[in-house]
Amino acid sequence: MDADARLAALIAARATAAGVAWLDRAVDAVATGAAAIATLFPAAARHVGRGGLDAPGATLRAPTGEEVPLAAWRVDDAARVRLLLAAGRRDPAGALALADDLYRHGDARERTGALRALSFLPCAATDAAALPAVQDAMRASQGELFEAGICENPYASRHLPQHDWHKAALKVAFVGLALERVVGLAARADAAFAQSLVDLACEREAATRPVPPAMWPIAARFPPPGLAAKLLGYLEHPSPDHRAAAAAALAALVATDPRVRPFLADRAAREPVPAIRQTLSRAVEA
């Protein structure tokens, strides 16, 4: 089943029959050039709805190979992706520039839809025409818009220059989104990015504000001085999220810093959460 058919099926499970019929007509009209996407794109939500797509665990395969999770998508996002896919069938080379234009003229929901479409459009691997839209979303202060720009978005991760990617991924951690939602995080993270994460943790600790735990496994790949001691402290944190992240990070550190091993063993003996205990025990044995 291609991306369009798969989205159509997911939408059909959530929208009314009239809404589905409207969308099918709109998709045909865009694909044949009979109607302008510029006025159909904003109208989509009124026909298909705005609720969650409600497809936890569902993914959509991008032409570049990534399986993109749809958990954060709404029904109108899926409908707008269908419209852009139709435009892409009509004019493959212009699809990403069109998505950028629709983003530029869209409200927050339309912009989110345009961003979610980027990875599925023709030439997504090579055409950076929609990069300005992603860069705009990076600067957005509206949660869902920012999220659609950088989370589960292979197009963004592929085309953002390193400096922009660094700032966008750091903002993911800063606003409390899960870092692992950034596609290709491991591949693009470098020492400078890891340092930014550690600086964020220090800033939060100084302000007695919460630290996003997901940063530690990334930081551990490029450990600054003192990281091991800081993580060992988090191993005693009352929150299992913090202990789990610290354990995963320390498991990566133990190969280069064997001093931490006895502390991992000590905690493993007292750790009540089985998954964390297992991470610690494996690290001790490694």
Partner 1 sequence: MRIFEPHAHMFSRITDDYERMALGGVEAILEPAFWLGQPRTHVGTFLDYFDTLVGWERYRAAQYGIHHFCAIGLNPKEANDDRVNAGVLAEMPRYLEKDGVLAVGEIGFDDMTAREETFFAAQLELARTHGLPALIHTPHRDKKAGVARTLAVLKDVGFPYERALVDHNNEETVAMCRDTGCWVGFSIYPNTKMDEGRMVTILERWGTDKMIINSACDWGKSDPLKVARTAAEMRRRGYDDEGVAKLVWHNPIAFFAQSDRLLAHDLDQRPVVDGELWQGNSILRGQGA
Q: Does 176 sit near partner 1 (CB under 8 A)? A: yes
Query: Which amino acid is it at 31?
Result: A
Which residue among 105, 195, 256, 286 contacts partner 1 (CB under 8 A)? 105
Determine contact, residues 234/246, Cβ cutoff 8 Å.
Answer: yes
Q: Does 174 sit near partner 1 (CB under 8 A)? A: yes
Q: Does 43 sit near partner 1 (CB under 8 A)? A: yes
Q: Does 147 sit near partner 1 (CB under 8 A)? A: yes
> How many Å is the maximal CA-CA distance in the chain?
70
Q: Does 51 sit near partner 1 (CB under 8 A)? A: no
Which residue among 6, 90, 204, 221 contacts partner 1 (CB under 8 A)? 204
Please give the Cα distance from 205 to 216 (Å, whole number).
14
Which residue among 5, 13, 93, 175 contacts partner 1 (CB under 8 A)? 175
Q: Does 46 sit near partner 1 (CB under 8 A)? A: yes
Q: Does 197 sit near partner 1 (CB under 8 A)? A: no
Q: Which stretch binds partner 1 (CB under 8 A): 13-21, 107-115, 125-133, 217-225?
A: 107-115
Which CB, 3 or 140, lies closer to partner 1?
Answer: 140
Which residue among 6, 42, 128, 164 contacts partner 1 (CB under 8 A)? 42
Q: Does 45 sit near partner 1 (CB under 8 A)? A: yes
Q: Does 282 sit near partner 1 (CB under 8 A)? A: no
Q: Does 109 sit near partner 1 (CB under 8 A)? A: yes
Tokens of 152: 């589960």
- Minimum distance of partner 1 from residue 60's CB (angstroms): 20
Which CB, 43 or 123, lies closer to partner 1?
Answer: 43
Contacts to partner 1 by CB under 8 A = 38-40, 42-43, 45-46, 50, 105, 107-110, 140-144, 146-147, 171, 174-176, 204, 209-210, 212
